Amino acid sequence: METKEVINRHVTLKDYIVGEPKESDFVLKSCTFSLKLEEGSQDVLVKHLYFSIDPYQRARMKYYSSSHKAPFASVLNPGSVIDTYGVAKVIISNHPDFKEGDLVVGMIGIQDYSIITPATGLLTKIKYTDIPLSNYVGVLGLTGFTAYAGLHNVCSPQKGEQVFISAACGSVGHLAGQFAKLQGCHVVGSCGSKQKVELLKNRLGFDDAFNYKEEPDLNAALKRCFPRGIDIYFENVGGDMLEAVLENMNVHGRIAVCGAISQYNRDKPEGVTDPMKLVYQRIKMQGFLAADYLNSFPEFIEKTRGYLIDGRIESLEDISDGLESVPSAFVGLFQGHNVGKKIVRLHA
Amino acid sequence: METKEVINRHVTLKDYIVGEPKESDFVLKSCTFSLKLEEGSQDVLVKHLYFSIDPYQRARMKYYSSSHKAPFASVLNPGSVIDTYGVAKVIISNHPDFKEGDLVVGMIGIQDYSIITPATGLLTKIKYTDIPLSNYVGVLGLTGFTAYAGLHNVCSPQKGEQVFISAACGSVGHLAGQFAKLQGCHVVGSCGSKQKVELLKNRLGFDDAFNYKEEPDLNAALKRCFPRGIDIYFENVGGDMLEAVLENMNVHGRIAVCGAISQYNRDKPEGVTDPMKLVYQRIKMQGFLAADYLNSFPEFIEKTRGYLIDGRIESLEDISDGLESVPSAFVGLFQGHNVGKKIVRLHA
């Protein structure tokens, strides 16, 4: 049988990014690619279907000098394929656990095809296909799990507690807020448009929401929304918002630091924390990565799938099509373009 | 019997303090005072012996507008007696639990005498007098307990962990470091003079120490002292030191925020925390007050008294005499004048 040759396109960086990312920082490259596997290997060839587009990737795209710690295991070097969490379909399999047509989820390159060595354990077979496949990179992916682990494992919410979520219409925020509502908390979100405010209040069940762009005084906005103070803050933005939140935290408050989107493009992040505010109110401020809690991932999947099916959680997805849309999808994250989880769809 | 009249002096603020405190911000006032108790009351009249002089008081001495939370229950208004943790001796008692000559410890005014209503539960009788009385405002007081609770309750040190203490020759720092050594940790301290470095290394058993004033690059100093990174940081100073520490924290590191002496006199504290550093290393940064852990105070007293008697903990005390010395004692805290716990002694 003749080997089929295809074009395999991938997205890469032209150079390390400084400041606000631009679409022109990215380039789409093509290679020819043989749809075949090495004989005797246990490899699997997959075609990519959905990619998760995440703000955290910004930190992987900058240059780190040897005296500063890189933020994660791997920096994305210019020219190399950008990897992300995604869904793929098996085309050819040499591995006994996978067969043609299987759907898998895990870390994949932002490209059309790839060959995976399943021994690395990077791909998990998708068990349930009664929900949209895109959900696996959003509400049932690392995004949803980040919301779940940050809220439950870091903040231990109790019924009746006052919960504030920033970037509440973002991929993680809109889910963290809904998880908090399921715990019986009073939940308020901040976001960047009137449309998002409506969505949070009318569709996602937030108790209140405000558009930070229309609030000249964030401290006053928080005092208005939280006359009883804030017990839990799910931090996604950093900067002035964190400063204002610290003025409104209750004693023994908890802050799960998930992200700081206002800060990612700064060469020198804004300092916002007067550490003494943590002391006076005895606040715990904890950074976390969902990856640290992976042993509860299966439990999370079962539970959250149930919530999705019975309508107790709604997943907002913002899907664009084609590898060509990856640069604008990523750049738009920092301009608040996305409503909910930003996803790029391919071949689907 | 005739009532004895005495002069009762007290220390008070001339006005709320802005910026660096000066001796002239304080004033010593005198009143006449009758050494008698109201008949039928359960009051106790005490003569004050030792006062704890603490940096945290700085935050009580500033003006807070109604839109900003005051740091503690009470702000020290100009003209009112400054209260602090101290040791006193019972002169007259109408209360069945106290008799003349009893020694007590608790919150008292910085003055010669006061009348206490024991029902408030503010005073505790001193049980052991086989150790210096001054110890009760230092190593066996809220200072020692702050070191103990911050290290144990907030940081849960494990044998072999790498512990960094800033202001390590200060009242809390020199004890936190010794408690960490007792847990089998590798302990390094920073301080502000050569003499203090020697003291930490040669007398208090720190594994290493450095003078931050002689380090042009704090990040490099920490890398030199902690080639394996920092697991626990006992934060007493804030500012640049916290920034440098965040560059050197290990994954799942813990920071107990006890104080930030570099920041107390600033109108607008320096922002030092890039919240994303907490995320990448999954760091817990927790403010605490010893007051939250008071149920383990009796256990702490028994244990620490044992350490003092068998020489496993050494308490450094820096004692000055007389109410007149209170202003310079307090002001000196912010200039690094004190070696160990700053105490003012009276009538003793």
A80-121 per-position pLDDT tens digit: 999 999 999 999 999 998 999 999 999 999 999 999 886 556
| Mean pLDDT confidence for B276-293 | 89
| A161: Cβ contacts below 8 Å, ≥ 6 apart | A183, A185, A186, A231, A232
Q: Give, as one character, the DSSP assignment of residue B315.
A: -
Closest chain B residue by Cα to residue A59: B276
Q: What is the pLDDT of residue A72?
A: 59
Phi, psi for A116 (deg, rounded to 5): -115, 140
> What is the spatial distance between Cα A207 and Cα A185, in angstroms, rounded to a whole number?
9
How far is the C-alpha of A6 from the C-alpha of A298, rounded, in Å?
A: 36
User: CB-based contacts of B255: which residues, under 8 Å, 6+ apart?
Assistant: B232, B233, B235, B245, B249, B283, B284, B285, B286
Q: CA separation (Å) from B130 to A42, B52, B133, B310?
A: 75, 20, 9, 13
Structure-token pair, residue A102? 């299987």
Confidence label for B275 from pLDDT (cuts 50, 70 and 90):
confident
What's the gap in Å between the CA of A69 and the closest CA on chain B?
Answer: 7
The pLDDT of B39-45, averaged and rounded, is 91
Nearest CA in chain A to B266: A274
Instruction: Locate CATH 3.40.50.720 in chain B.
Output: 142-291
A224-231: average pLDDT: 98
Mean pLDDT of A119-146: 89
- Span B41-53, average pLDDT: 95
Task: State what percent of residues in chain B have pLDDT above 90.
Answer: 73
B273: contact with A, CB 8 A cutoff:
yes
pLDDT digits (tens, 9 = 90+) for A150-197: 999 999 999 999 999 999 999 999 999 999 999 999 999 999 999 999
pLDDT value at position B235? 92
CA B138 to CA A33: how far, in whole Å?
A: 73
> A142-291 adopts what CATH topology?
Rossmann fold (3.40.50)
Residue A275 to residue B283, Cβ atoms within 8 A: no
Please judge whether A273 and B273 are an interchain contact, meaning their C-beta atoms are less than 8 angstroms apart. Answer: yes
Does residue A67 carry a pLDDT above 90?
A: no
Q: Is the ipTM of this complex over 0.90?
A: no
Best residue in B54, B285, B288, B289 to probe A by mutation, most A CBs within 10 Å?
B285
Query: Is some CB atom of chain A closer than 8 A to the CB atom of B216?
Result: no
All CATH 3.90.180.10 domain ranges in chain B, comma separated? 5-138+316-345
**CB-based contact, B264 to chain A, within 8 Å:** yes
- Cα–Cα distances in angstroms (integers) from residue A132 to residues A50, A135, A138, A160, A294, in the given order: 11, 6, 10, 33, 23
Residue B301 has which token pair? Answer: 């007293």
Q: Could you read off the pLDDT of B52-77 as tens digits, one per residue?
A: 999 889 888 988 876 555 555 588 88
Average pLDDT estimate for B9-31: 95
Q: Please report which confidence band the pLDDT of residue B270 belongs to, taking 50, 70 and 90 as the band edges.
A: low
A270: contact with B, CB 8 A cutoff: yes
What are all long-range contacts of A33-36, with beta carbons under 8 Å and residues at least 24 apart? A33/A5, A33/A6, A33/A7, A33/A8, A33/A112, A33/A113, A34/A3, A34/A4, A34/A5, A35/A3, A35/A4, A35/A5, A35/A6, A35/A91, A35/A92, A35/A113, A36/A3, A36/A4, A36/A92
CA distance A231 to chain B (A): 14
> B276 and A284: CB-CB below 8 Å?
no
Asked if B285's CB is within 8 angstroms of A286's CB, the reply is: yes
Amino acid in the structure at residue A183: Q
Q: Which fold has domain B5-138+316-345?
A: Quinone Oxidoreductase; Chain A, domain 1 (3.90.180)
pTM of the prediction? Answer: 0.86
Which residue of chain B has the CA closest to A249? B69
Least-confidence region, from A218-222, A239-243, B64-68: B64-68
Residue A210: Cβ within 10 Å count: 20
Beta bridge partners of B50: B87, B345
How does DSSP classify residue A296?
Answer: G
Q: What is the pLDDT of residue B267?
A: 67
| Phi-psi label, residue B342: left if phi above 0, alpha if psi -120 to 50, beta otherwise | beta
Strands (E) in chain A, as ranges, are 5-13, 26-34, 44-52, 83-93, 103-109, 113-116, 123-125, 162-165, 186-191, 208-211, 230-235, 249-257, 284-287, 317-321, 341-345
Q: Which residue of A has its CA nearest to B244?
A: A68
| pLDDT computed for residue B75 by the predictor | 85
Report the amino acid identity of residue A19. G
**Closest alpha carbon to A147 in A139, A136, A157:** A139
Q: How many CB atoms lie within 10 A of CB B181?
A: 19
Residue A93: how many CB atoms within 10 A of its CB? 20
> Encoding tokens for residue B5?
């009249």
Over residues B220-247, the pLDDT tens digits come to 999 999 999 999 999 998 888 998 999 9
Please state, as a whole number, how many other Cβ atoms lie within 10 Å of the Cβ of residue B256: 27
Between residues 76 and 135 of chain A, which touch chain B (CB distance below 8 Å)?
Answer: none
Q: What is the pLDDT of residue A167?
A: 94
Q: What tens digit of pLDDT does each residue of A251-302 get? A: 999 999 988 777 766 766 665 567 778 888 899 999 999 888 989 999 999 9
**pLDDT of the residue at B268:** 66
Q: In this model, does residue B292 exceed pLDDT 80? A: yes
